Amino acid sequence: MARAAGRVKREKGGFWIAFCAVFFYPIGWLTGRGRYEGREHIPASGGALIVANHISHLDPIFSGLIVHRSRRVPRFLAKHSLWRTPVLGRALAGSGQIPVYRESADAQQSLRAGTAALDDGKIVIIYPEGTITRDPAGWPMHSRTGVARLALTTDVPVVPMVHWGTSRVLDMYSKKFRPFPRGTITVRCGEPVDLSAYRGRPVDAAVLREVTDLLMARVRDLLAEVRDEPAPATFYRRAS
């Protein structure tokens, strides 16, 4: 969806969004030269599901910045354990973020909350891999199907998004933090994915798997454009 000409009115986020922005913008500036591309694909109003790759713990900062720069309020599906962290937990709850309960009786609650936010016209960001990719080359992994259920139970644009450069700065798996020299961190959104062929079909396990792979293939292809190199034909699978 193209952004209308002229200045778009900023979506109201309240105190906690402003509180987070005070920290996110300086951290984003200090850790890299942000290049925010494809912002015209983030709707100026109404709900949208943003489907992103995950290569570093810095990703949410840059995901949030591209959405906030588009004058929208970012809402993340994030691990529920973060809500137990002092200050951060208050900020997450106060800013309307959505806790994810995996492998528990509360797992469906997360999907219901995500669906409600989308139906209410919010921007929801999801990392379908569920964690930072373990692919040694940094490509997206085989992903969870919750993203497909969100995409198919709501009628909102589904926008692929990728980060590249954040893992160079912060790689928790190798315990490396290298903010200097400041390099380029690219965040790019692509055109919304057309899911019209799946609308109205029964949402069973096969459809969920197919749609998840379709969405992550679009993310992978968008990442290949940013990296300017060919993408792998299959998704990396973690050892069980």
Residue pair 114/125 in contact by the 8 Å Cβ criterion? no
- C-alpha distances out from residue 85 to 79, 91, 133, 170, Å: 11, 10, 23, 20
Measured over the CA atoms of residue 168, residue 176, residue 51 and residue 44, the dihedral's sign is: negative
Dump pLDDT digits (tens) for 52-61.
999 999 999 9
- pLDDT value, residue 5: 47
Tokens standing for 117?
A: 């936010």
pTM attached to this predicted model:
0.91
> To the nearest 10°, the Cα dihedral for 62, 63, 68, 71?
130
d(C-alpha 137, C-alpha 235), whole Å: 11
The number of beta carbons lying within 10 Å of the beta carbon of residue 107 is 12
pLDDT reported for residue 99: 85
Q: What are the pLDDT digits (tens) for 86-127?
A: 777 788 888 889 888 766 556 677 788 899 999 999 999 999
Chain segment 28-53, per-residue pLDDT in tens: 999 999 999 999 999 999 999 999 99
Query: What is the token pair recorded at 235?
Result: 């998704």
What are the pLDDT digits (tens) for 2-28? Answer: 454 456 688 888 888 998 899 999 999
CATH value of 34-227 in 3.40.1130.10, 3.40.47.10, 3.10.180.10, 3.40.50.10470: 3.40.1130.10
Q: Burial code of 215-233, b = ≥16 C-beta within 10 A, e = fewer?
A: bbbbbbebbeebeeeebee
Percent of the chain with pLDDT over 70: 94
The H or E element containing residue 39 is: none
How much is the pLDDT for 104?
Answer: 55
